[in-house]
A and B are shown apart, each in its own frame.
Chain A
């Protein structure tokens, strides 16, 4: 299961770098692509930043029990925008739309080779993960921010010797 989480994140991150290399954030002094798995970060660094995608893993279930071992895992992707400071925030909707487009581009094609990253390098596990089209929820306004959440279901076959 961890390999699925890691593969999904690394795939989306690499696609984001290709699509929009300038979309970065700084966490703990390191500049990195603006996509974060919440459970992988120190609790102290979780002040959320605008213009970044935050991935939170949800429940896991069997997708076709008992005919198949295919499993499904939910992932919520949250992102917000406050627009540009020199525009008074009136472009925050446009910024959010750009993030929407980035998300849809990152999620396409909806499959990837599953790799094991536990040793620090990618080890091909010989199978694929695939996922649903993002279900993009309505935008919510909170103060100067506008943001939304997208839900993706990631499908995978649990590896015999993998967690």
Chain B
């Protein structure tokens, strides 16, 4: 078995450094909680295929988060950027056995913030040394 201490110590260190930096930044600047609205698994029966059965949803809390209003002056509807670190999503990722966090965030039904359900427009996953360290969600009302 490969010894992790001798495999790639510099890369491992860089991964941890970026993740610690992101976790510290989100903790220091973001005392906010957002929730990811996800659909529960479909039954797959005829009623659900015909759009008759309303899918059940679940709100998964993600915190700490930095929520920034990035609405441009000419835009009518508010837009937000939500920053999440690996610690912010760790519990949810473990609970739902998520492999691809970026895709999981992008394909969610929406983002709940202050009783508003925001549409997720885009998700950018920032990486360092091959590891995710910051998730940037762009959402709009």
User: Interface on A for B, CB 8 Å cutoff?
Assistant: 6, 9-10, 13, 27-32, 36-37, 39-45, 47, 117-118, 120
> What 8 A-B pairs are tightest by C-beta distance, nearest first?
A30-B44, A29-B41, A40-B51, A28-B42, A30-B42, A32-B44, A120-B47, A44-B109
User: Interface on B for A, CB 8 Å cutoff?
Assistant: 39, 41-44, 46-52, 55, 107-109
Q: Which of B41, B48, B51, B109 meets A39, CB within 8 Å?
A: B51
Q: Which of B44, B49, B108 meets A37, CB within 8 Å?
A: B49
* Residue picked from B47, B50, B109, most chain A C-beta under 10 Å: B50
A13–B42 contact, CB under 8 A? no
Chain A positions within 8 Å of B52 at CB level: 117-118, 120
- B43 CB to nearest chain A CB (Å): 6
A13–B55 contact, CB under 8 A? no
- B67 CB to nearest chain A CB (Å): 21
Q: How far is the CA of A29 from the CA of B48 in the complex (A)?
A: 12
Contact A117 B109, CB 8 Å, known A30-B42, A44-B39, A45-B39: no
- A54 CB to nearest chain B CB (Å): 13
B41–A30 contact, CB under 8 A? yes
Chain A positions within 8 Å of B44 at CB level: 27, 30-32
